[in-house]
Structure 1
Amino acid sequence: MLSARARRLVVALAALATALLTARLGLWQLDRAAQKQALQQAVEAQAALPPLPASELASTAAQAAQQLHRRATVRGQWVPGHTVFLDNRQMDGRPGFFVLTPLRLDDGSAVLVQRGWVPRDAQERTRLPEVPTPQAPVTLVARVQGPPARLYEFTPLDGEAGPIRQNLSIESFADETQLSLRPLTLLQLDDGDAAAAPAADGLRRRWPLPAVDVHKHYGYAVQWFSLAALITGLYVWFQLLRPRRRAA
């Protein structure tokens, strides 16, 4: 059995490690909040720049990184035969699909457009909603984005097929469709109030802002710091102050 001194040492080390861990988690939440605020500032700064024409859209990954969050105005023709529905996406707390369709530009290249969100059929989750897609050329107002956000899955990105998918790789999709895809996606925007009813194509484009949940991270940080303070206070009381009071 451990001696009294050894037990006190174990308790001290456990309290110290737990307090440091919870304090570090609090700092991590503050860092997450700062990252989202910086991203939001970058989005606003890029949005203030003049919209990019289709001819200036990035053709390399390095150029795409410089154009992130920049507004763009493009004209092209939908390729509806390659529409993809990304599953398990939420908007306003409801499960559904993100609808992605390639748009063939006037120069022959194409860009993958995140057109909007549709709810999933509650009775049959594999039933695809009807999404009206014009055959005539269209002009879009959009925001430059990177690849679609990836959700965790066991299947590799290049192993998925069919219209319903969990994730999508631009490179693999370009090989699959034989389209000359730009190394980015466009987030289609509505002209007017983003909180309005779905557009004529039935898609909702109430895209969340990066810093929309920043207060959640502050709340988590307060909880972790409070827990660190509680652990420290309990250790000081039970291991230091209380024994001295008893001895006195």
Structure 2
Amino acid sequence: MTTFRRPLGMRFWLITLAAVVGMLVTASLGRWQLSRAAQKEALQAMLDARGRMPAMDGRALLSLPPGGTSEAATLVHRVVVLEGRWLPEHTVYLDNRQMNGRPGFFVLTPLQLTGGPAGVVLVQRGWVPRNFQDRTQLPQVPTPQDQVVRVAGRVAAAPSRLYEFGSGDTSTGGHGAQGSSRIRQNLDLAAFRTETGLALAPLTVVQTGEAGGAGDGLQRDWPVVGAGVDKHYGYAFQWFGLCGLMALLYVWFQIVRRFIRPRSQPAP
């Protein structure tokens, strides 16, 4: 009995090339995900630092130009305390918004600031369930109109946009029933500023507590602000795991079985 080793043919080199390319690609993708995680960690650290900064008032928001600039981005997630009067006649209900897995409305009401420069800030007050038996019925949200309230929250961009059918006319909201024009799928701050004639700040405020201690029945279980660092570490683990799997399979089938444990065949 003599040991017979198969010659290295084109198939062996093609498999080797494919394995090397696959390992390089997956390792590169894993490193890229690690770099993204590092970027997100820096972003998360910045957001956490903003959240620990002293609370500001509405003057910083009102000083921003209507179109918004890079300066506006530096205020997002800052803690803010506002004093003013609600403008309930301009309350808007954003439809198809979820909180704790339940569909309903986000309630947005402009707040006319007092005790400083004249201006208005749109406040994302909270979430309320909708009436599914009468989808045009507006929920009752207690809103004192002539009372100065104190609103604590954090600065945020405009509410995220959802896909909507039709022209997306925010003046009608796609409904024809009386009063249902206040039910909308999305809200553009610039268009709302033009529609209402209010001197709206280019950023909104997400309310995090009761205004003036008065209960309004709104839920404020807002999602925790995060940069999604863990997601990138998970992706990196998957890519590196795939790279290691390809390396193990290549070593076993192309090296161990071919060279270390060769098949024995009788000599001719």
> Normalised by the shorter chain, which TM-score bucket?
0.7 to 0.9
Paired-residue identity, %: 52
**Corresponding residue of 2:42:** 38
Q: How far apart in 2 are the matches of 1:90 and 1:77?
A: 27
Q: CA-to-partner distance for each residue in 1:21-79, whole Å, 9 max, x for gaps?
A: 54455445545544443333223322333322223324222332232222222122222
TM-aligned CA distance change 1:116 to 1:146, over 3 Å? same
Alignment of 1:189-204 (within 5 A): 189-190=208-209, 200-204=215-219
What is the TM-score when the length of structure 1 is the normalising length? 0.75
Matched, 1:130 2:140: yes
Contact 1:40 1:209 in 2 (8 A): no
Larger radius of gyration: 2
Contact 1:32 1:217 in 2 (8 A): yes
Contact 2:43 2:227 in 1 (8 A): no
Q: How far apart in 1 are the matches of 2:23 and 2:161?
A: 34
What residue identity is the alignment partner of 2:262?
Answer: R
What is the TM-score when the length of structure 2 is the normalising length? 0.71
**Corresponding residue of 1:196:** none
**Corresponding residue of 1:195:** none
Q: How far apart in 1 are the matches of 2:12 and 2:185?
A: 51
Contact 2:155 2:205 in 1 (8 A): yes
Q: How far apart in 1 are the matches of 2:166 and 2:19?
A: 41
Q: How far apart in 2 are the matches of 1:184 and 1:122?
A: 31
Q: CA-to-partner distance for each residue in 1:87-141, whole Å, 9 max, x for gaps?
A: 3433333333322222222344211111112234566666543322221232211
Matched, 1:67 2:101: no
Pairwise CA distance, 1:186: 0.7
**Corresponding residue of 2:176:** none
**Corresponding residue of 2:150:** 139
Pairwise CA distance, 1:165: 3.4
Matched, 1:119 2:129: yes
**Corresponding residue of 1:169:** 188
**Out of 79, 93, 98, which is 1:90 matched to?**
98
Pairwise CA distance, 1:150: 3.3
Pairwise CA distance, 1:202: 1.6
**Corresponding residue of 2:10:** 5
Query: Which deviates more from structure 2 when the two are superposed, residues 168-177 or residues 24-33?
Result: 24-33
TM-aligned CA distance change 1:230 to 1:178, over 3 Å? same
